[in-house]
Structure 1
């Protein structure tokens, strides 16, 4: 009985320590993010993460901003609109590059489109998928171009029923990727996103496409997959 209680206490302490450590790391990403915002002459306004959750973490925002600030990406695909869209929109406004944002929410896309004429918004309602892990995905037949920066942060996949819904993108890998590419997968601590990363990795490996992987852990976990040219982003 005593041993069981001690075991539970030890697990509780480990959980508390993980929470404290994660919060500390997120604060570091937050500080670095704001410092980098000050250096980004192209950034019109600074997108903020919400302490209530439901928006991009500072971990994700810092990684995105670091990549954009390098000005090495010309075609961006964003699955799931949100705070990240504000960063992408400022970037393409300044650099005259390309941004395609896909979301299932028509109202949200309309609001996003008002912020910049440079954003190509694609309203894609969710539809059921057969013979696939995902129960539903965006109603998209294909993409008209290749991308060097892909952010996978949609569709919603936060509960038991939808947790594998982001795997729909695997049908288009690697055909949508430029020779040089970086892929970001947000919420990578979840089972669905871990499986998504594994499937993309297996597909890239099956096509003998060279890449490397890094995982960043803050308020959210982010997986980064990068071709050799973009390997520098593994060390942000």
Structure 2
């Protein structure tokens, strides 16, 4: 009898585990469908928002997958169009670099755009296929590994030597992500922020643990310095987080 009871309990446990796995898979699929629908909505909003700006409408972009998604490109457009940053720093050369460069060349002619890239081959290939605005500049900085709170993270090894000024807008999409404290260079840049500074900091891939950890450190640093800041998270297939100074708090309503 005892063997039968044990066998029955094991059978029920196996059934429970199987049902639990099935439910988890259903939940995962449902979440993916929801995010895909959100991404479609963002795509429509993006295309509507750039209507009338011919240079952007005609710009061929590879949106999604490794590149930024429609969520990012819509918020990027709103930042450039509504807040008109004069000094732009972008970590990571890619599709968003094209977008910013074309926007500057046609609609924001007095702004400057500095791009930091880790891979010389990628820089050469990119520039062979796309001509950046004269106001856009690419500088190379190899990546190295630093330890942050006991975790190894990828960082730009020469960023502190390259950066000679503060910027109005920081787009963080490089270097290659780390499991923990990803894109930690964003925190290093934020360490220099002061209460009187106006800034917009956009962190891509905020759906990942490493980027969330870095963003938490940034916000903690801002609170330590009594810097009033505002945040907004925008969610599609990937998420982005925008952190801004008080003057740019309208990022919450994009």
TM-score by length of 1: 0.88
Query: Cα RMSD (Å) of the superposition?
Result: 2.3
Instruction: Tell me the distance in 1 between the aligned counterparts of 2:234 and 2:157.
Output: 30
Equivalent in the alignment of 2:72:
60
Aligned residues: 232
**Shift in Å, 1:196:** 0.9
Q: Which has the larger radius of gyration?
A: 2
Q: Contact (CA 8 Å) 2:172, 2:204: kept in 1 or not?
A: yes
Equivalent in the alignment of 1:181:
199
**Shift in Å, 1:67:** 1.1
2:185 equivalent to 1:168: yes
2:38 equivalent to 1:21: no
Instruction: Tell me the distance in 2 between the aligned counterparts of 1:14 and 1:104.
Output: 38
Change (3 A) 1:122 1:134: farther
**Shift in Å, 1:32:** 0.9
Residue by residue over 1:118-174, the C-alpha shift from the partner in whole angstroms, topping out at 9 and shown as x without a partner, is: 11211111123356645331122241111111111000116x5xx545113322324
Residue by residue over 1:66-90, the C-alpha shift from the partner in whole angstroms, topping out at 9 and shown as x without a partner, is: 1111152111110011110011101
Tell me, which stretches of 5 or more residues in structure 1 are unaligned?
none
Q: Contact (CA 8 Å) 1:134, 1:168: kept in 2 or not?
A: no
| Higher helix proportion (structure 1 or 2) | 2
Match of 2:200, SS state, is: strand
Tell me, which stretches of 5 or more residues in structure 2 are unaligned?
1-11
Q: Within 5 Å, which residues of 2 pair with 1:1-236? A: 1=12, 2-40=15-53, 43=56, 45-50=58-63, 53-94=65-106, 95-96=108-109, 97-110=111-124, 111-112=126-127, 114-129=131-146, 133-140=151-158, 141-142=160-161, 143-157=163-177, 160=179, 164-175=181-192, 179-236=197-254
**Shift in Å, 1:213:** 1.4
